[in-house]
């Protein structure tokens, strides 16, 4: 069943209507979409090479050997599909500083996806793209297979509930995060963040999460915060393309219970 997003009347001037007809998606559905939600403003001093892949956009940091951020819109119709997991991690030769698989070998860290493979089952190309090492950062196995994986599963549930959500993920580095792995010196982050936004929900809402790069037990609500609080931690400007009235609501709210409701 095709679904149309209902957008507040005050925001209609800022919305571009178009049909989301991805060639090998499981289903196609008309979408009303704010433009440039998959872009993040960061300080000009931070190394950044942006690249748009089939299902996501990356800002890659050649000095760290990891992304600054990865952003994608997840439709409810994209949370499942016929494409099997690729597992073919590889270097992107078009991106300066992209590491190789050898950098992660015997490092003690997982090749942690920022945009997860399970979000890309709708497209063979998107699945292959998400295994580029531009979408990867060194992640503690207990986090990768534990709390981070649990959050990714929740995101797919929420995308099905809301028809579409915007997700932005990335590593967080402090000055004390000096550990590097491999011949290319891939920097190990001390934590990871997630931004979730449902700008088409009624009312619109948003939430953010920060997990330390280690086992993170307990309720995921303990790791939640507002997007505005995360902006203060990272110095990034998320969702700046939203109309101010919508951005204020999305970035200031942080109710995990509201996010986790069934409908």
Per the CB < 8 A criterion, the answer to whether 129 and 55 are in contact is: yes
* Residue 16: C-alpha distances to residues 38, 68, 206 (Å): 14, 27, 21
| pTM for this prediction | 0.88
- The answer to whether residue 106 is catalytic is no
Tell me the per-residue pLDDT of 72-126, one tens digit each, with 9 for 90 and over: 999 999 998 999 999 999 999 999 999 999 999 999 999 999 999 999 999 999 9
Tell me the per-residue pLDDT of 25-82, one tens digit each, with 9 for 90 and over: 433 343 446 789 999 999 999 999 999 999 999 999 999 999 999 999 999 999 989 9
Q: Dig out the tokens for 2 from the structure.
A: 């095709």
Contacts of 105 (CB under 8 A, 6+ apart): 182
The closest alpha carbon to 17, from 33, 35, 38, 36, belongs to 33
Look at residue 258 in the predicted model and tell me its pLDDT.
85
Name the active-site residue from 113, 156, 187, 205.
Answer: 113
């Amino acid at each position: 069943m095709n679904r149309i997003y209902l957008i507040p009347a005050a925001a209609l001037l800022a919305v571009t209507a178009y049909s989301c007809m991805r060639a090998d998606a499981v289903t196609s559905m008309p979408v009303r979409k704010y433009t440039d939600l998959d872009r993040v403003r960061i300080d000009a001093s931070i190394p950044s090479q942006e690249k748009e892949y089939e299902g996501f956009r990356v800002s890659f940091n050649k000095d760290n050997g990891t992304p600054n951020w990865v952003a994608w819109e997840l439709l409810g119709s994209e949370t499942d599909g016929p494409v099997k997991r690729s597992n073919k991690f590889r270097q992107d030769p078009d991106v300066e500083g992209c590491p190789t698989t050898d950098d992660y070998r015997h490092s003690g860290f997982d090749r942690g996806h920022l945009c997860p493979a399970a979000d890309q089952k709708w497209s063979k190309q998107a699945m292959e793209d998400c295994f580029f090492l531009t979408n990867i950062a060194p992640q503690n196995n207990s986090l990768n297979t534990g709390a981070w994986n649990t959050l990714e599963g929740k995101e797919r549930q929420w995308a099905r509930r809301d028809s579409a959500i915007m997700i932005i993920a990335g590593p967080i580095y402090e000055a004390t995060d000096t550990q590097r792995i491999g011949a290319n010196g891939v920097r190990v982050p001390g934590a990871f963040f997630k931004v979730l936004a449902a700008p088409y929900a009624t009312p619109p809402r948003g939430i953010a999460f920060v997990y330390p790069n280690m086992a993170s037990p307990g309720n995921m609500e303990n790791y939640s915060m507002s997007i505005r609080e995360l902006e203060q931690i990272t110095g990034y400007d998320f969702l700046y393309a939203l109309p101010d009235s919508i951005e204020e609501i999305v970035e200031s709210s942080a109710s995990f219970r509201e996010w986790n409701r069934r409908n």
